[in-house]
Amino acid sequence: MLRAGTAAARAVRALSRAARRGGTTLPGRVLLRLEPRAIELLGGRLRDGAVLVSATNGKTTASSMLAAALRRAGCEIVHNRAGSNMSWGVATALLDADGRARQLGLLEVDELWLPQIADQLDPRLILLSNLFRDQLDRYGELELIADRWAEVAARHDGRARFVLNADDPLVADLGRGRSQVTYFGVEDDSHALPGLEHASDSKNCRNCGSRYEYDAVYLAHMGRYRCPGCGRGRPEPQVVAERIELDGMRGSRVVIRAPAGRIDLRLPLPGLYNVYNALAAATAALELGAAPEDVRAALEEMAAAFGRVERIPVGERELLILLVKNPAGANEVLRTLALEERPLDLWLGLNDRIADGRDVSWIWDADYELLAGRVRRATCSGTRAEEMALRLKYAGVDAEIAVERDLGRSLDQALGAAGGTLYALPTYTALLELRDLLARRGVAGRWSA
């Protein structure tokens, strides 16, 4: 059924593209209905094998970075670049695997789908960046995802190379006792936080349960840690980001030191979280044979992945979109916003659709207190707009807080009142709606798989 399935799926994709819809999931759904083994069969056509990227945060950005570096190094890539990362999104992307040219599959994979898709594709490299508290109603506890990932590490040991974040204890632990592991990590104590953030989950050793001791915390529970009980600590990373200079929303400078050479990088994306994304992508790209110079050039040309630090001019104003979907990601965005010198005009879109997580409790885990005293005006929208507004009130945001559930009206109000840049912080489905609205108004292009 593969031939019939791919023909039908391609027809669906052509139709949805003609209708100017993104078309990232429906073709894959059709394909998997007609041929349940489609991912495995199409994956077999990838003559250069498959690379999987997963994480709670940054997987779309890190895989875009990795794709750019590999393209520059001359690879032909099959990639689910719009971030549709469940089985149907992967299947849709694999429609481009033709079996003729030498192609490398670069697939961003949802955390829960990783075990199944890894078994289907038998990847040559798996990049795992971080695990944070996210959508507990869908994903369950962090520990459960860590357990599933540990099974992936065991099953693919010796078959796949693992590229792992040494700074995240849950992720680093996956590589213990395994041979084909490359670790990356940050080494720059000038960016250490005073302590663990409130929303940190993995504070205790997976091996013995003792509380980790941290010499430095860089982001949520990521840092330089050691277990006083069993002595397990952060593994020594082979690829290191050092001498990091953050330059607000404009980006950062960082030196990446690797066995293959040194990369002096001027990264056009803001925040330490994007330094981590760049470091993860660079480590994987070097591991796959890209030259340091290709990695540097590709990362310096990075435009943001869809909805992650997108700048869109709207009339006299500029809309800067920053996806916010869980506490750890929100905190990085808020910390970066707090570096801006001028009072902020904000638009916050809080939706509770299935892809966002139905439970909006997480906004109380994120440190919106960082915005206190820094906001000129905030407009809250989305299906749970009022609860977003209340969160700001209790965070000590004493600016005018407007509530308007309707996305179009709220955006018009916010843009009308904004001084220059309007910072938009949507959850995932609010981002899709916002992007759709802007496309209908002709100020932003569509995207496609």
Partner 1 sequence: MSALRVCSLYPDLMNIYADRGNIAVLRARCEWRGLGFELSASGLGEPLDPDSADLFYIGGGQDRDQALVARDMVETKREALHAAAARGAVVLAVCGGYQLLGHGYRVGDSELPGIGLVDLRTVREPGPRLIGNCAIEADLGTGPRVIAGFENHGGRTYLGAGEQPLGRVLKGFGNNGRDGFEGVRRGNVIGTYLHGPLLPKNAWLADRLIELALGVELEPLDDALEDAAHASARRAAGV
Task: Provide the binding-site residues for partner 1, judged by CB under 8 A.
Answer: 133, 136-137, 141-143, 198-199, 201, 203-204, 209, 327, 352, 358-365, 383-387, 389-391, 393-394, 401, 403
Shortest distance, position 156 Cβ to partner 1, whole Å? 25
Nearer to partner 1, 14 or 208 (CB): 208
In the bound complex, what is the minimum distance in angstroms from residue 425's beta carbon to partner 1? Answer: 17
Which are the contacts of 267, defined by CB distance < 8 A and separation ≥ 6? 251, 252, 253, 254, 274, 275, 278, 299, 300, 302
The H-assigned helical ranges of 301-361 are 327-337
Structure tokens, 243: 């001498």
Query: Considering beta carbons, is residue 99 or 209 the nearer one to partner 1?
Result: 209
**CB nearer partner 1, residue 162 or residue 362:** 362
Q: Which two tokens stand for residue 45?
A: 């056509």
Name 265's Cβ contacts closer than 8 Å, sequence gap at least 6. Answer: 253, 254, 255, 256, 278, 282, 296, 299, 300
* Residue 378 Cβ vs partner 1, minimum distance, rounded to whole Å: 12
- Comparison of 133 and 374: residue with beta carbon closer to partner 1: 133
Residue closer to partner 1 (CB basis): 141 or 301? 141
Choice between 157 and 352, CB closer to partner 1? 352
The Cα–Cα gap between 160 and 155 comes to 9
β pairing state of 161-165 and 181-186: parallel
Closest approach of partner 1 to the CB of residue 52, in Å = 26
Of 88 and 362, CB closest to partner 1: 362
Residue keyed to tokens 């009206």: 409
Rounded CA gap, 231 and 223, in Å? 16
Return the number of the residue (365 or 412) whose C-beta is nearest partner 1: 365
Q: Is 380 in contact with 348 (CB distance < 8 Å)?
A: yes
Residues 6+ apart with CB under 8 A from 147: none
Query: Are 176 and 117 contacting, i.e. CB atoms less than 8 angstroms apart?
Result: no
Q: For residues 169 and 221, is the Cβ–Cβ distance under 8 A?
A: yes
Taking the complex as a whole, the smallest distance from the CB of residue 389 to partner 1 amounts, in Å, to: 6
Least distance between partner 1 and beta carbon 397 (Å): 11
Residue for token digits 């669906």? 12
Closer Cβ to partner 1, 47 or 358, answer by number: 358
Which C-beta is closer to partner 1: that of 32 or that of 333? 333
DSSP classification of residue 217: E
User: Helix crossing, 59-72 with 271-287: angle to 10°?
Assistant: 40
What does the DSSP 8-state code read for residue 354? G
CA distance 338 to 260: 36
Is 254 or 375 the residue whose CB approaches partner 1 more closely?
A: 375
Residue in 149, 220, 202 with CA at minimum distance from that of residue 178: 149
| Distance from C-alpha of 380 to C-alpha of 324, rounded to nearest angstrom | 14
Among residues 236, 242, 263, which one has the least CA distance to residue 189? 242
The CA distance from 331 to 368, in Å, is 8
- Round to whole Å and give the CA distance between 126 and 345: 40
Residue 189 CA, distance from chain mean position: 24
